[in-house]
Amino acid sequence: MNPRVFIDWNIDGEYAGRLVFELYSDKVPKTAENFKALCTGEKGTDEETGNKLTYKDSISHRIIKGFMIQFGDITNHNGTGGLSIYGGKFEDENFDIKHTKRGQLSMANAGPNTNGSQVFVTFCPCPHLDGRHVVFGEISKGKGLLRRLENIQTGENDYPTVDVRIVDSGLVKEGEDDGVPPLSIGEHEDYPEDDEADSENPEVALKIAKYYKDKGADAFKQQNHSVAVNEWEKALRYLDVNPVLPDETKNEIKAEYSQTRVQLYLNVSIAALKLNKPAVAESMATKAIRTPPTKGQDIAKGLYRRALAKSARKNDHSALDDLNHAVKISPQDANINNQIAFIKNKIQQQKQKEKQVYSKMFS
């Protein structure tokens, strides 16, 4: 039986989940053994360089949506290094297995026979890599996490804009639980693309979204704000399968679909504020405001939450504009009125500070 290994990931400092891989030891034993040993750390340190031979605490330095995620530079941590358990680099074992599907594990290299510790996981079939990179495994658990990793924002040179880090890795022993619980009855995969439900049917997608909307609400009540956001974002992904509903969709389904989407945007916005993520809160509140046909009270909520986010991002004048718009819709809302007074006072205090600075400069 081929061995299985696990890799646990943090995204932006928070635990994100586990990927489990089956390694093709029957086809490429030397390559598979290298990866397995780097997952377990069983080889200790490299005698020549003193580097630890482990993936633990290394990062992903390259993510290309629709192509692959690359990681495993255990020496330089930026894509320029790497080290095998055999000392330096080792040869291409064979190219018998092709890059035919999503979730395949393959060796990164700098040319023929330069395999070290860097690897990549495919997001799609990659026939142009056949004959150049050695495929030695595939994902068996954690498909939702792989989607999440694929959708992480990147900047220059495809480098993730947040820290994407391996916090643990090791061998799943034969007969041992792999640490990834199966879906419970009524549960669905994190991403619709991996799920068997007919989410292209608006009624099916809506039912799933409402289920996770309620799960998120339960988590929020228990102040598990990160869990709540994950559940609500999952609900939105199922709604997003149908960005435009078919003409034949019943009017009541159309109305409920839109209202559920607005509520989810508003929910994520307030939870993001609790998590000190004002940029996310502002973005979600804006989506709630712009989703037709948003009701007046929901627009007021969206404007209020967007104002809180803008103020947290030191954009008080724009926040005040939102609040002034919100109070016209909901003039008796105490939260809105109190925030208007707070922001006005904050702006006035800032003006006084600026006056004092200028007076000292020209005195």
pLDDT in tens, 190-210: 999 999 999 999 999 999 999
Closest C-alpha among 277, 273, 335 to residue 304: 335
pLDDT at site 363: 59
Are residues 179 and 47 in contact, defined by beta-carbon separation less than 8 angstroms? no
For 153, phi then psi, to 5°, come to -65, 145
Instruction: Tell me how long the chain is.
Output: 363
Strands 164-172 and 135-141: unpaired
CB-based burial label for 288 (10 Å; 0-12, 13-18, 19+): buried
Phi, psi of 106 (to 5 degrees): -140, 155
Distance separating alpha carbons of residues 233 and 244, to the nearest angstrom: 18
CB 95, CB 130: distance < 8 Å: yes
- Domain 4-172 falls in which CATH fold? Cyclophilin (2.40.100)
In the chain, ranges of CATH 2.40.100.10 domains: 4-172
DSSP 8-state class, residue 193 = G
The domain over range 192-347 is classified in CATH as 1.20.1270.10? no
Residue 297 is predicted with a pLDDT of 94
- What local confidence, expressed as pLDDT, does residue 294 receive? 81
- Residue range(s) in the chain whose domain bears CATH number 1.25.40.10: 192-347
Quick one: pLDDT at residue 184? 84
pLDDT given for residue 313 in this prediction: 97
- Low pLDDT (below 50) residues in the chain: none
Q: Which residue has the tokens 């712009």?
A: 290
Predicted pLDDT of residue 333: 97
Q: Hey, which residues does 115 pair with through a beta bridge? A: 90
CB 216 within 8 A of CB 232: yes
Amino acid 354: pLDDT? 79
Task: Indicate the helix (H) or strand (E) that contains 10.
Answer: strand 4-11
In whole angstroms, what is the distance from residue 296 CA to residue 304 CA? 12
Residues forming the active site: 62, 67, 70, 109, 120, 129, 133
